[in-house]
Amino acid sequence: MEDRNIAILFSRNVPLEEQEIEIVERKGLGHPDTICDSIMNEVSVNLCKEYLDKVGTILHHNIDKSLLVAGEVEVRFGGGVVKRPMKLIFGDRATFEANNIKFPVSEIAIQTAKGWFKRNLRFVDPERHVIYQVEIQPGSQALTDIFRRGGKVLEANDTSAAVGWAPLTRTERIVLELEKYLNSEGFKKRFPETGEDIKVMAFRRNRNLRLTVSMAFIDRFISDEKEYFERKEAVLEDMREFVDKRGDCFERIHIELNTLDMPGRGVDGVYMTVLGTSADGADSGQVGRGNRVNGVISLNRPQCSEAAAGKNPVSHVGKIYNLLTHRIAERIYNEVGGLKEVYVWMLSRIGQPVDKPVIAAVQLLADSEAYFNAVKKRAEEIVVYELENIDKFIMDLAYGKIPVC
């Protein structure tokens, strides 16, 4: 165990649930940043499948640089028009040829994006509403050589750190569940006028919770300003019912929707889009600016600066450790029992095998040092098991079995 550099530490911190202030955000399915994260990670998954199918191994790639450039629309009650399409720019590196076999990287990227738009955004036509610009280039000699060295696990291609934690607080869970509910099939059937571009921001002070929701409405379903505010109120009431059923731990919950709205200003005073995402004419997106790998942006928690989406799953610790730290924290919290919080930090060193981090530090928040001493060995065993089986975890990442946003 010593050669894996594992440290199990006792924490005296106040659990986040017991702290006075908590702020949590989630960017929904149709948010421009989430679109970039989701598509670029799916491109990586499809490249992994192509490499495995053609040469039996995953080759170098990092598709974690992307920009979704907002288009231009004219919003109108009853249905507006798209004047200029969105532009999706694919960036960074991939392997285009190996063993005299060529890989259609650009085609895979574009077809992946078109498929994602078609499956996830009801009113975006991937042929008419988006143009595609592929700027993916071959990787550097030093980084691609890592993939030629072989072995059960590869060497890290970066010196990087990540942190994960468990469990989610009640505020984090309600933010995550509310956005997923608002983008669920059942909700969209009842409220087809609501778009997929949703952001939920939560502010908890002690046991009082304030939720501010931004949700794009689709102009073709709204005949005039009066109908907009009527539909908005119906949606708001539905959200209140959903949250009230899950928020009995809070003393008071206040929910607001589309707070920039101002009656009397027509289309300029309401939040409507043509395609259900603000990327159609207002807001651009980038990889790495959206949700953390556990689905939320928690400002009270320690954060990792790496974007996991689109990075290769076999040597890029910015992806592997980002997700593995959360997995380890969840396992320790669920299997050890009696803990209030678990935090896991992992640090890599470029050139060192990914299953041998410079440090894997686990911080346990327990009621007493006596209980900590009784369970620390079990926590260490879980870390060891996950590192020894990191190759299986990597393949789950490669096949897209673990979500990244």
> Which CATH number do you get for residue 189?
3.30.300.340
Between 390-398 and 317-336, two packed helices, what is the crossing angle to 10 degrees? Answer: 120
What is the CA 87 to chain-centroid distance, rounded? 21
- Is residue 2 a part of any domain in this protein? no
pLDDT at 142: 61
- Is residue 332 a part of any domain in this protein? no
Nearest to residue 269, comparing CAs of 205, 312, 227, 225? 225
- Is residue 179 a part of any domain in this protein? yes
- Is residue 380 a part of any domain in this protein? no
Nearest to residue 228, comparing CAs of 339, 75, 3, 82? 75
CB atoms within 10 A of CB 261: 16
For Cα atoms 76, 268, 117, give the angle at the middle one, nearest 5 degrees.
55
Asked if 69 and 35 touch (Cβ cutoff 8 Å), the reply is no
- Is residue 93 a part of any domain in this protein? no
In sequence order, the β-bridge partners of residue 234 are none
- Is residue 199 a part of any domain in this protein? yes
Note the pTM of the prediction, 2 decimals.
0.95
pLDDT at 1: 42
- Is residue 229 a part of any domain in this protein? yes
- Please count the structural domains in the chain: 1
Per-residue pLDDT of the chain (405 residues), as tens digits, is 447 899 999 999 999 999 999 999 999 999 999 999 999 999 999 999 999 999 999 999 999 999 999 999 999 999 999 999 999 999 999 999 999 999 999 999 999 999 999 999 999 999 999 999 999 999 876 666 667 776 678 888 889 999 999 999 999 999 999 999 999 999 999 999 999 999 999 999 999 999 999 999 999 999 999 999 999 999 999 999 999 998 888 999 999 999 999 999 999 999 999 999 999 999 999 999 999 999 999 999 999 888 999 999 999 999 999 999 999 999 999 999 999 999 999 999 999 999 999 999 999 999 999 999 999 999 999 999 999 999 999 999 999 999 998
pLDDT at 146: 65
Q: Rg (Cα) of the chain, in Å, rounded? A: 23
For Cα atoms 302, 303, 307, give the angle at the middle one, nearest 5 degrees.
165
Asked if 320 and 390 touch (Cβ cutoff 8 Å), the reply is yes
Structural domain including 200 reads 17-27+172-286
- Is residue 45 a part of any domain in this protein? no
pLDDT at 141: 67
